[in-house]
Amino acid sequence: MELLPDKSLGMGSDDQVARMSDHGRVGSSAPSWMVLVAAALAVIGTLAAAVVTQVLSGRRESRQWKRQQRQELARWERERAERQEQWDREDHARWQQERLTSYSELIQQLDRFRTAISIRLPVDGPGPKRLDAEWRGEVAQLFNHLGLVRAKARLFTSTETDRICGDAFVRATVCWNAFNGGSLQNEERIRILRSNLWDLGARSADLLRAIRRELGLDVDA
């Protein structure tokens, strides 16, 4: 007996193969989409990580920059304060030196003026009827310079020192007027002038003691 092929079976086999083939195509296409999605997610994740890293790095750099700015500002303020302190010390040292120089010039000028008149007074008896023009000019120059030196010293003196300095200058003015006012033949006039010169010396000594007190020096030294 000849066996005929079962068409139903054969057809079933062909349909099954076709279905299996279609299933294979469908099954093989699904993973490719998953790969694309995974790749896209990976790229997005990488970009997101890069953005986050950049943001965090930017914030860190910003904080570091601000910290450096604060440190630089603090350093600048410290250096400025040190420079200001140094300038203040230098200014005070210059001021102190100028004050000492001014006081020294004042005392010396008072002594020069008083000496210039004293040495021109006669030791005994009347003096010359007329003052020598050179004498008068020299003493006048010393008196004028004394006024300038006193004006400069007033920039530094305390109230008490300035008062004593003013008294000395008034006495010097009296001596100048008496010396410049006429001849030296009148013995009474010479006696009064000598008295004024002695008083000027005493006022100069008072001024020197006041200056030493003002400078914090030992008055008795």
Q: Residue 31: its pLDDT value, please? A: 64
Contact present, 155 and 106 (Cβ < 8 Å): no
Residue-range domain boundaries for the chain: 95-214
Q: Residue 145: its pLDDT value, please? A: 95
Q: What is the mean pLDDT of each run of 10 residues along the chain (221 residues)?
A: 47 50 49 68 70 71 75 77 77 86 94 90 63 80 94 90 93 89 73 89 94 79 46
What is the second-level CATH architecture of the domain 95-214? Up-down Bundle (1.20)
What does pTM read for this prediction? 0.61
